[in-house]
Structure 1
Amino acid sequence: MLVPLAIRCFRDPQTFAANATATCWTDLLQQARSLGLTAQLHALFARHQLLQSLPETVQKHFAWGWRYYQKQRGSLFYELMQLEPFLGQADYPCLLLKGAAYQALGLTVSEGRLYSDIDLLVRRPQLTDCKDKLFFAGFFEPAISAYDKHFYLELSHENPPLYHVKRGTALDLHFALFPLAGRKKLNTELVFASASKIAGSCLQVPNLSYLYIHAAIHFFWQEEQHKLVKDLIDLDLLYGQLAEQNLLLQLLNDAQQFGALEPTVNTLLLVQSLFKRALPAEVTAKLVNSPYRRDVARALVLWQLGSGVRARLAGSLWYLRGYHHKMHWRALLRHVWVKGKLAWQQRHQPG
């Protein structure tokens, strides 16, 4: 099994730093730059008190990445502060998700992690009111086709992306954790029930279990291929904090109640095999005997980490599998037909 350098590094940074050649460092820095992992590598080696022992050139690259991350982190907290006066008027919970939640909680996974947008979750009945409040905060929704609007609100799990009129900040307003067309019957209400308020803020965050479950769903039930390594590293870091707090059995219990044991079980197995993590015996027993194991799907992940024909074939199958999870076949056929028709009309418009 070919394991990418970044995963080998996060798996055992001491061994990696002790044995890495100049070529190895060069390849790692190139991979890190392409995946947006440079600042996370800086944080990794700093946590293990190895930063000062690295080659000087490597330290410089990590320092550049860290400075960029600090700028992004400051921008994120500034954006969240701008939301406070408007969302503070809401009489319903507004939950941060993904990177914004990691940062708000100060999780290990947030150290050096870059973000591209702010993810917010509200209950579906409050979606319109929340959009109105965000409008007065300076966010707008670009014009899209009637079908795309229908797709987002009836088949997806979020509103069309919102953008700040001056700062260009992107905000994804979710009302579920997975597309409705996937028919996964996820109990989103449990996410709200588990949430806690951020000190001094009107915003809330899901508990650690649901942050992992959301990351697992995003990884295992969707079609994205270009961020597999980055997403696996996020899952490993989240796993590490769950393990430190003895919450792995609680994680499996929460995943079962929520309806997402399949992605949770299989991402834990991937973390175990790729990062060589020693799961507690009782957790291992549950994973070994789980009817939600998907050995073929995990093999597709591992094959994509390699190169050549097998990796390309695995990527194609992963893409098709992801859409199979996101949309039942009738919705998928209609989606392909309508989008194809709209694309054809755009290409053949006069002038």
Structure 2
Amino acid sequence: MTPRWDALLRSLRDPACMAGHSEATWDLLLRQALAAGLLARLGALAQAAGVEPSLPLPVRRQMRALLAVSEQQRRSVRWELVMLSRDLRELPGPILLLKGAAYVAGDLPPAPGRLFSDIDILVPRAQLDQAEAALMLGGWGSAADTAYDERYYRQWMHELPPLVHVRRQTNLDLHHNILPLTARIKTHSKPLLAAARPLAEFPRFSLPAPADQVLHSATHLMHEGDWRHGLRDVVDLDSLLRHHSHTPDFWEGLLTRAEELSLGLPLFYGLSLCQAYLSTPMPGDLLQRCPSRPGPLRRRLMRALLRRALTGAHRGSMAGGTRLAEFALYVRSHYQRMPLHLLLPHLIVKAVRRPAAGQTRREAANPAQQP
């Protein structure tokens, strides 16, 4: 990333340093953090470090406002899990929580200051039809607005089309795997479900095992294709690594699990980003021993693309070539998801039906406020 992002990265690595930022530093840092979806996270870190009272009043006000939104969203997620427990009570399960919902329900470090757009759950593929039917009876309906979207998700993807509750307007993603059926990396959900840990507070749901939380976070980061919140996802991954690394033999178990699930490549890139930008503590030879470690040329190319793409959230702080890097990573993510004979027609359809600037496909289908 460029030097213009140094203050934000320092604040994420060492929250106590926020007490010494000048007004000029805050002027840029606030805009970057807001654009990257990290301002509430900075507020949570400042409170935990005990430096929040010393921050400038306008900074505190903005942080507290977004922290209030984050807290309200966390309450909403918990309520939605209660309602989903009722909707899915007859499903044999297990039902796995992913990403933000898992962070909230498991009270994990990425949750404080996290803003949410949806709830992600994963069920065994054999129970997918039963789960969808139960959710429809509970008031959930598809947000896909074309027959092509329905076929795209149901035939090729690792999830059904996004679901929206008819009254609460909550978004739900119902997964049966963590990567598409057509993806170049072949992984399966059975090992994730077998290692899942039931939640005491929400007994209908389970959390992925610690290593699986990390692997899913890294896989999501490297396969999503939209880097506007890429730095936020790196921060999530860093938080999980710092939290779980206190468990004995965590790092060895993580490498072993990555090899078992064929997720060594996204893990390598995720660990590299955490180490480079957030100084995540990890064993010195970890990257060298990572399964599916890419070759030197590929590493240099990806490093150059990622360094630029991570600056794309804030227009005034972008590195040179950022838009080209974003496009290259967008194409790469789809190439990782689909073979060329499916990918090329799909990209043509997406280009023809491209939503308005600044609007995602999901927002175009459902513009209502998310929990």
Q: Same fold (TM over 0.5)?
A: yes
Quick one: which amino acid aligns to residue 323 of structure 2? R
Pairing 1:96–2:97 present:
yes
Q: Structure 1, residues 80-109: CA drift from partner, whole Å, max 9, x if none?
A: 111112212211211111100011110111
Residue in 2 aligned with 1:349? none
1:268 corresponds to: 271
1:133, distance to aligned residue in structure 2 (A): 1.0
Alignment of 1:267-306 (within 5 A): 267-287=270-290, 291-292=293-294, 294-295=298-299, 296-306=301-311
CA–CA separation in structure 2 for the residues paired with 1:165 and 1:250: 42
More deviation, 320-329/299-308: 299-308
Quick one: distance in 2 between partners of 1:340 and 1:315?
15
**Which residue in the other structure is 2:29 paired with?**
28
What RMSD, in angstroms, separates the aligned Cα atoms of the two structures?
2.1
- Cα displacement (A) at 1:285: 4.6
Aligned equivalents of 1:255, 1:111: Cα separation in 2: 27
Amino acid at match of 1:320: V
1:324 paired to 2:335: yes
Following TM superposition, the consecutive aligned residue runs of length 4 or more in structure 1 with deviations greater than 4 angstroms are 337-343
Query: Higher mean Cα deviation, 108-117 or 306-315?
Result: 306-315
Match of 2:255 among 252, 260, 263: 252
1:339, distance to aligned residue in structure 2 (A): 5.6
- Cα displacement (A) at 1:143: 5.8
Contact 2:87 2:138 in 1 (8 A): yes
1:223–1:318 CA contact under 8 A, matched in 2: yes
Residue 217 of structure 2 corresponds to 215
Q: 1:45 to 1:334 in 2, by over 3 A?
A: same
| 1:181 alignment partner, SS class | coil
Q: Give CA-to-partner distance per residue, 1:128-159, whole Å, 9 cap, x none.
A: 10011111221112464333222101211110
After superposition, the Cα gap between the structure-2 partners of 1:148 and 1:60, relative to the gap in structure 1 and judged at 3 Å, is: closer
Q: What is the percentage of aligned positions where both structures have the same residue?
A: 33
User: What aligned pairs does 1:109-128 form with structure 2 within 5 A after superposition?
Assistant: 109-128=110-129
Using the alignment, how far apart are the partners of 1:36 and 1:142 within structure 2?
24
Give the whole-Å Cα distance in 2 for the aligned partners of 1:342 and 1:221: 21
Moved more, 302-311 or 170-179: 302-311
> Which residue pairs with 1:348 in the alignment?
none
Distance 1:143 1:332, change over 3 A: closer
* Alignment map for 1:135-214 (pairs within 5 Å): 135-142=136-143, 144-200=145-201, 201-214=203-216
Greater fraction helix: 1
Aligned partners of 2:205, 2:156: CA distance in 1, in Å? 27
How far, CA to CA, are the matches of 1:242 and 1:154 in structure 2? 36
Q: What's 1:133 paired with?
A: 134
What is the TM-score with the length of structure 2 in the denominator? Answer: 0.86
Q: How far apart are residue 34 of structure 1 and its match? A: 2.2
Q: Larger C-alpha radius of gyration, 1 or 2?
A: 1
Q: Distance in 1 between matches of 2:65 and 2:144?
A: 38
1-structure distance, mates of 2:97, 2:256? 22
Paired residues in the alignment total: 341
Which of 14, 17, 40 matches 1:15?
A: 17
Question: What is the alpha-carbon distance in structure 1 between the residues aligned to residue 353 and residue 70 of structure 2?
Answer: 39
Instruction: Quote how far apart the aligned CAs of 1:21 are.
Output: 1.0
276-285 or 165-174, which deviates more:
276-285
Q: Name the CA shift for 1:26/1:138 in 2 (closer, same or farther; >3 Å).
A: same
2:303 alignment partner AA: R
Aligned to 1:347: none
For normalisation by structure 1, the TM-score amounts to 0.90
**Residue type at the aligned position of 2:306:** V
Once residues 235 and 277 of structure 1 are traced to their aligned partners in structure 2, the CA distance between those partners, rounded to angstroms, is 10
CA contact (8 A) 2:100 2:111 kept: yes
Q: Flag structure 1 segments of 5+ consecutive residues without an equivalent.
A: 344-351
The 1:143/1:24 distance shift into structure 2, 3 A limit, reads closer
Shift in alpha-carbon separation, 1:279–1:64, aligned structure 2, 3 A: same
- Could you tell me whether the CA contact under 8 Å between 2:264 and 2:292 is conserved in 1? no
Equivalent in the alignment of 2:368 = none
Unaligned runs of at least 5 residues, structure 2: 312-317, 355-371
Rounded to whole Å, the distance in 1 between the matches of 2:233 and 2:30 is 18
Residue identity in the other structure for 1:301: L
CA distance in 2, matches of 1:338, 1:58: 43
Code of the residue aligned with 1:326 in structure 2: it is R
1:311 aligns with 322
Measured against aligned partners, the alpha-carbon deviations of 1:212-248 in whole angstroms (never above 9, x if no partner) come to: 1111111113321211111111111112112232422
Q: Report the 3-state secondary structure (helix = DSSP H, G, I; strand = E; otherwise coil) of the residue aligned with 2:342.
A: helix
State the match for 1:2 in structure 2: 2
Check conservation: 1:187, 1:257, Cα contact below 8 A: no
